[in-house]
Amino acid sequence: MEIDRIKFDEKGLVPAIVQDIYTGKILMLAYMNKESLEKTLETNTTWFYSRSRQKLWNKGETSGHVQKVKRLAFDCDRDSLLVEVEQVGPACHTGQMSCFHNEILIDNQFESDDKNITEDLYEFLKERKANPVE
Amino acid sequence: MEIDRIKFDEKGLVPAIVQDIYTGKILMLAYMNKESLEKTLETNTTWFYSRSRQKLWNKGETSGHVQKVKRLAFDCDRDSLLVEVEQVGPACHTGQMSCFHNEILIDNQFESDDKNITEDLYEFLKERKANPVE
């Protein structure tokens, strides 16, 4: 089984990057143990291990902001996961689409209108993916 | 200073997701300590802490496959980083663009030609970003 190749750390965890498969936006980073990874594959929704609450959680179970898993891959070192999802609603508990909203550095080039063009195109791609034209 | 808000773990590390700012592709996940984060911000190229070699490394120093940092952000929990870069050459030591090339699960929908349309558009965006049209 492919998941037996994954190297969990000394706490039995592996970091999982969650990316919106339509827009390419990074939504969050959380941790999976073997059980939560198995549940993710079984249910096609994301399950993580909460380090603070020390138990499994199914993302969106209470908020309804579920993540439908479309692709799951591991890296060349076999110690991190990339989970590509269809995100329902915002991913962050703050109500933002992504948890990564605290900027430390940004190149001037990416503050321009150019960024909006990219985002518009991403939105177009998302819409086209959800509703393919024959 | 913004970086004092970041919560490094008990080993002094924080996971850093590296994403291609033009294509949205996730390139790799590596770890930074405070020193490597400071060097990243100083040099605008990525510096990580190698857990196996127990020392700092400047990505691309020997291969030439450097990562020019365009945006750096931390998440709502302040315990993971997102580094958006302009990647020179492939990011993975295997020669692949991304380290995440081992698929465990893929939805049929994303194996179709549709995926190529998305990738073509990403390539178009990358080219347009690198060479903006007035």
B102: Cα separation from own chain's centroid: 17
Choice between A42 and B130, residue whose per-residue pLDDT is larger: A42
Q: What is the model's pTM?
A: 0.86
Least confident segment among A1-5, A27-31, A69-73, B82-86: A1-5
Nearest to B69 by CA among B89, B81, B85: B85
Per-residue confidence (pLDDT) for residue A101, from 0 to 100? 92
Taking CB atoms and an 8 Å limit, are A74 and B24 in contact across chains?
no
pLDDT of A72 higher than 80: yes
pLDDT of A134 higher than 70: no
Name every chain A residue with its beta carbon within 8 A of the beta carbon of B118: 125, 129
Q: What is the mean pLDDT of chain B?
A: 90
Taking CB atoms and an 8 Å limit, are A105 and B17 in contact across chains?
no
* Residue numbers of B between 22 and 51 with CB closer than 8 Å to A: 23-26, 28-29, 41
pLDDT of A16 higher than 80: yes
Contact B93, B62 (CB under 8 A): no
Q: What is the DSSP string of B53-91?
A: TTEEEETTTTTS--EEEEEEEE-TTSS-EEEEEEE-S-S
Instruction: Give the confidence band of B116 by pLDDT, cuts at 50, 70, 90.
Output: low
Per-residue confidence (pLDDT) for residue A36, from 0 to 100? 98
